[in-house]
Amino acid sequence: MSRSLNKATLIGNLGADPEVRSTNTGTRVATLSIATSRRWTNRSGEQQEKTEWHRVVCWDKLAEIAERYLKKGDRVYVEGRIEYRQWEGQDGQTRYTTEIRALEMIMLGSSGGRDDTPRSAPAPAGRSSDPSEFSNESLARDDDLPF
């Protein structure tokens, strides 16, 4: 059987405070709206910018961390997998959404580049919140996929 990979990595800013709720069983769920932007110069020499919005869902301990430490404008590193869901709305129409299920999150500081030092928060069991493990060198090694 061949291997596959479903991995999303984002560094961006929160567009709103985390939306946190509990499921019927008491599990905490936080939804984040994260903006990533890219800038370029077009052929006419004009500066262009495009912002993409990403829906990120954090469960359990990551949801609690997001609720406690994150706020609108904060810069955050998120690593997770892309998931697609569909459901039937109250009007009977089928709805679709694409979201990133966060598996790792590192708080990088406030918006505007004023403070990009990582802020500590307890990491979920088995996961590290040490930003040094995500240096440019280690991120580059992640791109050396075995297939």
Q: How confident is the model at residue 121 (pLDDT cuts 50, 70, 90)?
A: very low
- pTM equals 0.70
For the stretch 28-71, pLDDT in tens is 999 999 999 999 999 999 999 999 999 999 999 999 999 999 99
* pLDDT at residue number 134: 39
For the stretch 61-91, pLDDT in tens is 999 999 999 999 999 999 999 999 999 999 9
- Check residues 120 and 34 and name the one with the higher pLDDT: 34
Right CATH number for 8-142 from 3.40.640.10, 2.40.50.100, 3.20.190.10, 2.40.50.140? 2.40.50.140
In Å, what is the CA distance from 49 to each residue of 44, 52, 74, 110? 14, 10, 20, 21
Q: How confident is the model at residue 142 (pLDDT cuts 50, 70, 90)?
A: very low
For the stretch 125-141, pLDDT in tens is 444 444 334 334 434 44
- Which letter, b or e, does each residue of 105-115 get, where b requires 16 or more Cβ atoms within 10 Å of its Cβ? bbbbebbeeee
